[in-house]
Structure 1
């Protein structure tokens, strides 16, 4: 009789700790997590000092193992995941199963109905959630893997779920100027790109597109700019995410967009020197969870 093997814990890519991190006092810290096709990322921020003091990154799971199963396998032995008593906990899920609507039109209990207009919601495999952006009058409705959300609810009963796009939106509007120029922001993940367009602090467009080639990436970027009557030769496009300066993705973006810049970490937040070796344009959504209520 064969026995199913337990999933192996995911492989650590980064495990950074500031010397000031005191795991004997978790109530002094906030724990932030992002989970999606790229894998699992964790950040710890000192609540009083408003400063990130730890960051971990784990590779995406193998094809035959779910991310939720790998997180279950990792939790018992992980110094951050197996700890309770945090000041607050936020998890951002990364997928294309979300929709936005004006907050005054949102009605609790109708989340599944809103989502079915854009996503084939599966109650057996997914749970549905919402997050309202304070100050923007926008509500996000999204689906998440049921195994992942079950683990999260059990591990952190007072934790809060948000969608990756909400973390991006909260972070970008935090550092944009009221009445500022129209701009496009890209967050590039594992074979998908989130495209956000703002006029000052007012969102005009937000969506996630899949891509398999660099040509797909530039196609969706230029398509959105054309729909919004923005000029790739003039208007600013800011980029965050999982790409390198010498990558094909960046090369094709630079070829077709003249005013292209890498983004910074969220403003008004401190970062340990331990994070200095990481590119500033990476992990933006993880850091921006610090700005989500």
Structure 2
């Protein structure tokens, strides 16, 4: 009887985007912070070198069957332990923001239940925002949260992507910030934030067309007393300057502008291959 052939190693995942600085050494994870942004079908990740405060890797993947844990089993460093800090943000509409003085640990499920009923496959967590005096209560996939805790332990922090977006906006604004609307279109959803001296609005809407984006943008502007002909709107997300979404938005919002990356950090030159307004919420995980 002939010996059976050894099983083949897992196939290397094919990235939608993979940019790495020559200095990036995932064999020395303690030198880096690892930031992950997970949606139901995608995972985006970046790494920043702690000593130089420089982003040195940016990758984007479609998730295989089995989600992030399955991708990690095939990836060269996603499942590696020993990073200085690891933060994982999850997307979705299952979140609520509460004034910090009104929140008591242990009340997460009750607070979220006003907007979303957690299922047996979800876990409910919270993140504090000291600068905004808010608490973000959110639901996350239980299997993902379990994998994350088992893999990264006390170095890992699980949060909602709106927490990263808010932290990035606050970090980027000046001492006397104008009242402004911020848009972040993602996969089949749109995050809208209105921030002046304080946070006035934050919500995630389901969106599948350019018309959806424009509808919710104008709706929020009208409800918050913003003028589509006068007030500036900052846009991040997965768009191109000639995209149907941005073209239609500019038809109805005169001062729609693409945003820039978070400041006070460096970016490896290879990351210049992507538009500066993309991956803002991912990079903003550095400031949560």
Task: Report the TM-score when normalising by structure 2.
Answer: 0.93
Q: How does 1:209-220 map to 2 (within 5 A)?
A: 209-220=205-216
From 199, 211, 235, the counterpart of 1:239: 235
Answering whether residue 48 of structure 2 is matched by residue 48 of structure 1, we say no
Q: Does the 8 A contact of 2:35 with 2:88 survive in 1?
A: yes
Q: Does the 8 A contact of 2:234 with 2:259 survive in 1?
A: yes
- Looking at structure 2, the residues matched to 184 and 37 of structure 1 have their Cα atoms a distance apart, in angstroms, of 26
1:137 paired residue number: 133
Shift in Å, 1:271: 0.4
- Looking at structure 1, the residues matched to 162 and 69 of structure 2 have their Cα atoms a distance apart, in angstroms, of 25
- Looking at structure 2, the residues matched to 136 and 288 of structure 1 have their Cα atoms a distance apart, in angstroms, of 15
Shift in Å, 1:217: 1.1
* CA 1:246–1:55: 2 relative to 1, 3 Å: same
From 10, 15, 18, the counterpart of 2:18: 15
* 4+ aligned runs moved over 3 Å, structure 1: 7-11
Q: Unaligned stretches of 5+ in structure 2?
A: 1-9
1:3 paired residue number: none
1:76 paired residue number: 73
Shift in Å, 1:9: 7.4
From 52, 59, 62, the counterpart of 2:62: 59
Shift in Å, 1:213: 1.8
1:35 paired residue number: 38
From 180, 186, 189, the counterpart of 1:192: 189
Answering whether residue 201 of structure 2 is matched by residue 205 of structure 1, we say yes
Q: Unaligned stretches of 5+ in structure 1?
A: 1-6
- Looking at structure 2, the residues matched to 179 and 36 of structure 1 have their Cα atoms a distance apart, in angstroms, of 34
Q: Does the 8 A contact of 1:126 with 1:145 survive in 2?
A: yes
- Looking at structure 1, the residues matched to 184 and 15 of structure 2 have their Cα atoms a distance apart, in angstroms, of 22
Shift in Å, 1:245: 1.3
Answering whether residue 165 of structure 2 is matched by residue 162 of structure 1, we say no
Report the count of equivalent residues. 278
- Looking at structure 1, the residues matched to 107 and 241 of structure 2 have their Cα atoms a distance apart, in angstroms, of 44
- Looking at structure 1, the residues matched to 56 and 157 of structure 2 have their Cα atoms a distance apart, in angstroms, of 21
Answering whether residue 83 of structure 2 is matched by residue 114 of structure 1, we say no
- Looking at structure 1, the residues matched to 177 and 286 of structure 2 have their Cα atoms a distance apart, in angstroms, of 24
* CA 1:256–1:277: 2 relative to 1, 3 Å: same
RMSD of aligned Cα (Å): 1.5
Greater Cα shift, 155-164 or 36-45: 36-45
Q: Does the 8 A contact of 1:8 with 1:73 survive in 2?
A: no
- Looking at structure 2, the residues matched to 54 and 144 of structure 1 have their Cα atoms a distance apart, in angstroms, of 25
Aligned-partner SS, 2:36:
strand
Please give the per-residue CA displacement for 1:151-183, whole angstroms capped at 9, x wherever unaligned. 111111120011000000000011112332210
2:3 paired residue number: none
From 254, 257, 273, the counterpart of 1:258: 254
2:148 paired residue number: 152
Q: Does the 8 A contact of 1:9 with 1:71 survive in 2?
A: no
1:4 paired residue number: none
Task: Report the TM-score when normalising by structure 1.
Answer: 0.91
